[in-house]
Amino acid sequence: MRPCDTPAGRLQFVSHGSIIARRPAPEPGFAQKRRTARSDGRDPMTQTHDPVAVLGIGAMGHGMATSALRAGIPTIVWNRTPEATRDLADRGAEVAETAADAAQRAAVVVTMVTDADAVISLARDQGMLAALAPHAVWVQMSTIGVAGIDRVAALAEQERPDITLLDAPVSGSKDPAQQGQLTIFASGPDDARARVTPLFDALGQRTIWVGAVGKGTRLKIVNNTWLAFSAEAVAASVALARRLGLETETVVDALGAGPLLSPWQAAKLQRIVVGDFSAQFALTLALKDVRLALEASDVDRFAALASLADEWQRVVDQGLGEQDLTVVTRVLEEQGGT
């Protein structure tokens, strides 16, 4: 991996065809300059951004729309249940009545929904794809797996070859989305990058460009496999410690002093200590991502991942799927009695 100089002070790292674009730190006084008002009361920088539509205002879509608005990007939002958009309207978002209405008003359209079927439904059944303006950019940011992005790419190529599709799933949960601290695994045509850079800079702390459409999804699957085993390490270790008569705080103190614990795992441990299993990354969604990895691979070669999926499925079957994935800790601790 090697650094290279790029315009506007952006530091990039190039490795095997991948480019990691890190958001540069603001210049001194940037915030003050950013807020210099026009005589008509409008922010001059806001007016330079292409309008963006965010379709799907769940936990992630809501955070992403919030980050876009905070960056001064004109933002149009749509959700199947309009209640989720109300506070965004208070922050300046335009609320569209339909997905097609949102799409036809934006130069860049983001889809952030639960799975490939939902993406296809938005695009085809709800008229989003047909409503896109010629040369618009469709940024597909949902985690939908290899087969899912192949379906989406085929649909776009068949029905709208005049628009640009980017495959750009993200790493991060509710809080990073709200704070503009996601990691974006972007793939697609090089000539679309400049058009989405302001948006990606608003949503994420870094963007990794990895090649043609589909590569971003493949990297996301690898990322989420790492995350799944990291989460399982936390859950299994804490549950084992408790069954052995150790306090969770003891585990935190022991691991926190060494090199094995990532910041993400440390944050999860702290939530477990206080018994907070409210969803930052719901177990059902984490399990979905594990299933996508298994679907894209040779299951027999990845027996540990398949076993993890079976364990998590048993926890979901107990009605705990909407809790954070760390709820697995509680179930492992309780299984088999004391």
pLDDT the model gives residue 181: 97
- DSSP letters, 222-266, are HHHHHHHHHHHHHHHHHHHHHHTT--HHHHHHHHHTSSS--HHHH
Residue 194 has pLDDT above 70, yes or no: yes
What residue type is assigned to position 34 of the chain?
R
Percent pLDDT > 90 in the chain is 80
pLDDT digits (tens, 9 = 90+) for 62-91: 999 999 999 999 999 999 999 999 999 999
Residue 200 has pLDDT above 80, yes or no: yes
Percent pLDDT > 70 in the chain is 85
Q: Share the mean pLDDT of the chain.
A: 88
Q: Where are the domains of the chain?
A: 2-213, 221-334
pLDDT the model gives residue 257: 81
- Class of domain 221-334 as given by CATH: mainly alpha
pLDDT the model gives residue 75: 98
**Who contacts 141 (Cβ-Cβ below 8 Å, separation ≥6)?**
64, 110, 111, 112, 168, 169, 170, 184
In this prediction, residue 29 has a pLDDT band, given cuts at 50, 70 and 90, of very low
Mean pLDDT, residues 139-162 taken together: 98
Region of poorest pLDDT, from 87-91, 122-126, 247-251, 324-328: 247-251
In this prediction, residue 113 has a pLDDT band, given cuts at 50, 70 and 90, of very high
pLDDT the model gives residue 22: 60
Residue 332 has pLDDT above 70, yes or no: yes
Mean pLDDT, residues 205-215 taken together: 97
What is the reported pTM? 0.82
Instruction: With H, G, I as helix, E, B as strand and everything else as coil, classify residue 308.
Output: helix
pLDDT digits (tens, 9 = 90+) for 244-283: 999 999 999 999 888 999 999 999 999 999 999 999 899 9
Residue 2 contacts residue 14 (beta carbons within 8 Å): yes
Query: If you count them, how many residues does the chain have?
Result: 338
The b/e string for 231-249 (b: 16+ C-beta within 10 A; e otherwise) is: bbbbbbbbbebbeeeeebe
Region of poorest pLDDT, from 13-17, 122-126, 186-190: 13-17
Residue 59 has pLDDT above 60, yes or no: yes
What residue type is assigned to position 77 of the chain?
V
Residue 336 has pLDDT above 80, yes or no: no
pLDDT digits (tens, 9 = 90+) for 211-253: 999 999 999 999 999 999 999 999 999 999 999 999 999 999 9
* Domain 2-213 CATH assignment equals 1.20.1110.10: no
